[in-house]
Chains A and B, each alone.
Chain A
């Protein structure tokens, strides 16, 4: 196995996630107050948005960035169609639930991406800063695909409700904060960022450790409480990130991304949203079962990506880039 896959297990970030999983499994009363967890997620999104914006202000906008953005939007829009087909046939889900789950698998997980970036740095293959913009661009198209698949283009509900749903889709907190802080980073540049970097850089890894501890607790507790998950859905929740991730690394390499960025693109395609999409689905498809889509994305795919898939995708990107493993 690639050394990157092993380095995963020595990273404090990943070890804190394992601690969270373990604490939940042994039914410890360890808990992070929800308001603090929410605050940490906002901090992490603002920090990676800023850092990405600053990186692009140094390198400038070029054809590679535009191509990566276009590839990200296309992937986010198309991946739910693959997921939907598998969920309907092998997973035996109805149209509504298959559409809702499919939206999660086209969209992205910010925390999976941030953890992957930490592991890429350990493996000496850092991802380009502009991949944060690709991450933000991939949040939304999948939601539209999922709704299209679940509703088949039918328009129901009153206009006010549709307006609320569209606001949630295009202006949800993750998209606004990621794109907003990315723009602030681009405008401020390295000198402007230097003023706020003590807050956004010094505490970043520590906050990420605590946040992953909380995600480990939530993921394991949700899995233990789950009643709607079948063995077929477990298989899909592991197979989809493997397939989508490999597809992403291949596409990233094909469009000329460097090894770290191609691996990051693979991680984005492999990850499943559990922050932005669940809230949008609860509004737009209230009949869909959160016990299915949240358990699959958060309790199965997320831990699988953190513990196994990031290492595998790094190895694949290195192999395709002709680097030693």
Chain B
């Protein structure tokens, strides 16, 4: 039986030009890694949006996995700019193997 531990999986949807702002916050709270995924289109409070790389108005999904403590620190770091920077932050519990890495 493989041993797993519970960690937080955090996803942040951000305009691509602002992705570095998010990854800097992840690095600041010493979470060991992150992944940026491209996304195609969607709709939110401000209406529909779609991938427009030419105008720089495309969005990215920044994915990271961390301990509950670090996830909480990251939330505190990002909550003040969620509205002003138009970010969407979600997190939930996941089971991971090699828990010491997160």
Contacts and interface: CB of A to CB of B under 8 A. Distances in A.
- A associates with B: yes
Interface of A: 34-35, 37-38, 41, 160-161, 164, 168, 214-215, 218, 221, 225-227, 274-275, 278-279, 282-283, 286-287, 289-291, 294, 298
Given A34-B51, A161-B21, A282 B84 contact: no
Contact of A278 (B21, B24, B55, B81): B55
Contacts of B54: 34, 37-38, 41, 214-215, 218, 274-275
Most buried by A among B46, B52, B55: B55
Contact of B57 (A38, A161, A215, A278): A278
A218 B51 CA distance: 10
A214 B55 CA distance: 12
B86 interface: yes
A153 to B, nearest CB: 20
A35 B48 contact: no
A34 B58 contact: yes
Contact of B56 (A160, A214, A278, A291): A278
21 contacts: A34-B52, A34-B53, A34-B54, A34-B58, A35-B53, A41-B54, A160-B24, A161-B21, A227-B46, A275-B56, A278-B55, A278-B56, A279-B17, A279-B55, A279-B56, A282-B57, A283-B17, A283-B18, A290-B57, A291-B46, A294-B57
Interface of B: 15, 17-18, 20-21, 24, 46-48, 50-58, 81, 84-86
Chain A interface mostly helix, strand, loop or mixed? Answer: helix
Contacts of A218: 52, 54-55
Contacts of B85: 286-287
Contacts of A291: 46-47
B91 to A, nearest CB: 22
Contacts, number: 60
B15 A282 contact: yes
Given A282-B17, A287-B84, A225 B48 contact: yes
Contacts of A34: 51-54, 58
B13 to A, nearest CB: 14
Contact of B55 (A160, A225, A274): A274
Given A218-B52, A218-B55, 12 more contacts: A34-B52, A35-B53, A37-B54, A161-B21, A215-B54, A225-B48, A279-B56, A283-B18, A290-B57, A294-B55, A294-B57, A298-B55
A182 B46 CA distance: 40
Contacts of A38: 53-54
B29 to A, nearest CB: 15
